[in-house]
Amino acid sequence: MPSFDTKGAACRAALRAAPLVAILLVLSPYLGPLDHGPTSALNDIRTFQAPNVRFLASSLRLDGELPRWNPQDFGGVPLVGDPQAGVYNPVNWLLLLRPSLNSFGWLILASAGLGAIGFMRLASAVGCSTSAGAAGATAFVLGGKLLLHLVGLGHVVMAPFFLVPWVMLWIDRCAREPSAVRIVVASLLIALMLVWMHSQLLVYTALFLTGWGVLALARSARPWLGLLSLSLVATWSASLAAVHLFPIVALLGEFARAMPELKVAEASASPLAWLDLVTGAASSPESRYTVGGVTLLLAVLGLAGSSSRDPRRPMLWFCSAAVLAILLYSHGVLPDSVMARGTFRHPARALFVLSAPAALLVAFGVDALFHAPRGRRRFATGLGVLVSLACLFAADASTRDLVALAVAALGVTAIGESREMASPWGERLSFSAAVVLLAALGFDTGSRVAPYVRTAPETRIAQRHWGGELPPNLGPDSRLAEPHRHEAGRGLPELEKRRLRIESLTGYNSLIPWRFLVYASYASGFDPNTVGSRFATSVPVRRERPRLFDLLGVTHFLYAPLRLRDSWTWERATTALPRAYLAPNPQIVLDEPGGGQLASALRAFERLDQMDPHHQVLLHGEGARDALAAVGVEPGQTLEAYRAVPIRERRPNRISIHFETQLPSILVVNEPFFPGWRATDRGQEIPVFRANGLSRGLVLDTGVHQIEMEFRPVSWQIGWTLSLAALTASVLVLLRQLCRGRFSR
């Protein structure tokens, strides 16, 4: 394809640098000072991501291994099997070197730069000019939804979408010219997205990349070979990410088994107003997306100005279809059955994916200025200006938006006319106009993101909202609940909880085992049949049923003030059950057939609220009856009397308890039961049962006991082995290619 782009190497370098300069200008507050970090009114970095990385770093330092279980949130929750925890995300490992809030600012900056470079490489591979690639890269990174979420909401689990241009590039290469090295590189990139990206966005991204792969196969000279290559990429990338994916699949039931029985308290995100796409003025942060008038102008140019003889025409139609489908879906036009829209809390997150096809349309629009016939180019330019103006006026846009559009229109016109000038002045005009256009595009998109790029000292971000003193007996053995905290904000920030190693029933996570949600709602006096998104991210509590909080081992309560001017107050719970204790008189609880998981759990919780845990313990499942029979005990028979049992050693992945009994006994470990916990007594494996609705229970015989409990799910073991094998094979393939490249010289 002939190129009408600037020919000088210096000019091309300047155009390529334009998106990176714009990114640096917008995100420059994240560069320093090093004691500052990203902050905003709503920010997942300070409430989940940074505390999680600090927990990973401290566990790695103290235990010499990455934790598979997190005992500090919700009384205990698995890290493997949690899509957002990122235990096996290599990017998180880099953050462990300096687990501070400032590191996340650098992560956002590096991800944005990587996305811009990747898009320019993709644009070049599909035949776009340098200026077209730079314009598309600017629209991809600074426009849209992704960077707004990163700097405004701190959703760094969305950041791997910046890898999408790189993945598109390598998918295209694997489909058209397959090789072992290309398959490995594409697989490594996709595997990184699998272990890093938010699961909801991953679904939308996978659908888009599947369509791109089909398009690449259609352009391939040997489509069947390309199909085999892409199949290998899918298999290899899944194998590389198996240590993350296998536990998710295996443990998903424990998170969502009873969810179909629960009523949803909150509906899906409200549909967007169409014009919010231009101004970014959506009422909900989740629904915010900014195209901007300049981006819209260039996208219209791509749609209406591209030549009918352009071999990239199929890409144009694919991008147009993708944009239309995403808009219809995210705005609620398509029925809920399409792409399971009703199952997602924020369907507007599909707009993340819009950045990739929209940016390609922008790149095609700039190229149309060089390749389209004069009449078509002028018609498309006029149409683009009219559409952009209409949307800007209808959306009540600012003067800034109109000025940016006017400057962009001037640059577009100058580029179009420069191709008619067969002299060095035409080249100079083309370069100057391209710089003007990129500046207008960067200003239009960057000025919408810049107000959300805020930093503050880490000490202020992590400060206590209530400003009081901590009680002297608060420490690593404490378990904290914060009643009514949603009415007055968080009393103790998550970052301070991590520093003090305090366990909390009110952490921050979007994936909590359903039994805990129902237990917490029942104990707090909420309707246990209804679980809204407030329970899906952080569990609010009220001390309506104190006995159930004692069963959970809650040692401290931090009460929010009734009035804003009042102070927060602490209460020490002296009746909380210890971390581990012996309980006599076991009662067997069986799930009634046809009764449903939720109804069975609620009946058990009602029994717990009525009984004295010092004299009774509920053991769940038929297996518990068999275990009691094995030590010569019938259900209801009195065993070793109640007493607290000291814990010898306690780490995130394992617990060690040594003690002696004179009678058969039931050991209750007051931490959540979850599949994957294994126990041995003097080296002999024994079953772990669910006790008292949520806890772990062990049936023991008379004698000396050396209990070792470890969280080691079979799915994690299989996934770890498979991932290690796939990674080893990938390294060998790349090393072989490197050696062949050196010896061929």
Verify that 281 and 387 share a domain, yes or no. Answer: yes
Helix residue ranges per DSSP H, 42-154: 44, 50-63, 90-95, 101-125, 130-142, 146-152
Q: What percent of the chain has pLDDT over 90?
A: 43
Same domain, 413 and 281: yes
Residue with tokens 């094998």: 725
pLDDT in tens, 298-318: 999 998 888 777 888 899 999
In a domain? residue 291: yes
Kindly report the backbone phi and psi dihedral angles of residue 73, in degrees, each rounded to the nearest multiple of 5, phi listed first.
Answer: -120, 135
| Same-domain status, 466 and 586 | no
pTM greater than the 0.95 cutoff? no
Output the pLDDT for position 505. Answer: 82
Does one domain contain both 656 and 601? yes
Q: Please compute the mean of the pLDDT values over residues 15-37 and round it to a whole number.
A: 92
pLDDT at residue 692 tops 90: yes
Q: Which residue has the higher pLDDT, 259 or 406?
A: 406
pLDDT tier, 283 (very low <50, low <70, confident <90, very high otherwise):
low
pLDDT tens profile 75-110: 888 999 888 888 999 999 999 888 888 999 999 999
Average pLDDT over the chain, rounded to an integer: 85
Q: Residue 742: is its pLDDT beyond 60?
A: no
Decide which of 546, 572, 598 is a domain's last residue: 572
Per the omega criterion (within 30 degrees of 0), is the bond before 33 cis?
yes
Claim to verify: residue 253 and residue 281 sit in the same structural domain: no
Per-residue pLDDT at 342 exceeds 50: no
Q: Which residue has the higher pLDDT, 526 or 490?
A: 526
524 and 563 housed in the same domain? yes
The DSSP code sequence of 10-59 is HHHHHHHHHHHHHHHHHHGGGG--TTEEE--SS-HIIIIIHHHHHHHHHH
Instruction: Tell whether 52 is covered by a domain.
Output: no
CA distance 142 to 290: 9
pLDDT band at 533 (very low <50, low <70, confident <90, very high): very low
Q: What is the pLDDT of residues 709-735, one digit of tens each?
A: 999 999 999 999 999 999 999 999 999
Domain-located, residue 249? yes
Say which residue, 291 or 596, is predicted with more confidence.
291
Number of domains composing the chain: 4
Residues 605, 667 within the same domain = yes
The whole-number pLDDT of residue 354 equals 92
Average pLDDT over residues 347-363: 90
Amino acid at 335: P
* 223 shares its domain with 313: no
Out of 265-274, 417-426, 625-634, 667-676, pick the least confident.
265-274
Confidence check: pLDDT of 745 > 60:
no
Same structural domain, 383 and 294: yes
704 in a structural domain: yes
**Statement to judge: residues 465 and 501 lie in one domain:** yes
Where does the pLDDT of residue 20 fall: very low under 50, low under 70, confident under 90, or very high at 90 and above?
Answer: very high
With 90 as the cut, is the pLDDT of residue 117 above it?
yes
The residue written with tokens 């010898």 in the block is 648
d(CA 168, CA 197): 16
On whether both 350 and 497 belong to a single domain, the answer is no
Residue 270 pLDDT > 50? no
Is residue 125 in a domain? no
**Domain finish residue from 541, 572, 603:** 572
Q: How confident is the model at residue 465 (pLDDT cuts 50, 70, 90)?
A: low
The reply to whether 359 and 227 lie within a common domain is no
DSSP tag of 270? P
Domain range for 638 is 580-712
Q: Any idea what the Cα angle at residue 121 is, between residues 118 and 126, rounded to 5°?
A: 125
Domain termination site, one of 572, 601, 630: 572
Q: Look at residue 575 and tell me whether its pLDDT is greater than 50.
A: yes
Lowest pLDDT segment from 32-46, 397-411, 482-496, 510-524: 482-496
In a domain, 140, yes or no: no
Residue 337 has pLDDT above 60, yes or no: no
Q: Which class for 743: exposed (0-12), middle (13-18), buried (19 or more C-beta within 10 A)?
A: exposed
Of the two residues 227 and 599, the one the predictor is more confident about is 227
CB distance 350 to 287 below 8 Å: no
Residue 218 has pLDDT above 80, yes or no: yes
Q: Is residue 701 part of a domain?
A: yes
| pLDDT higher than threshold 90 for residue 518 | no
- pLDDT band at residue 263, thresholds of 50, 70 and 90? low
Residue 510's pLDDT band (boundaries 50, 70, 90)? Answer: low
- Cβ neighbours around 122 below 10 Å, total: 26
Lowest mean pLDDT among 215-229, 258-272, 480-494, 559-573: 258-272
Position 376 in a domain: yes
147 close to 195: Cβ distance less than 8 angstroms: no
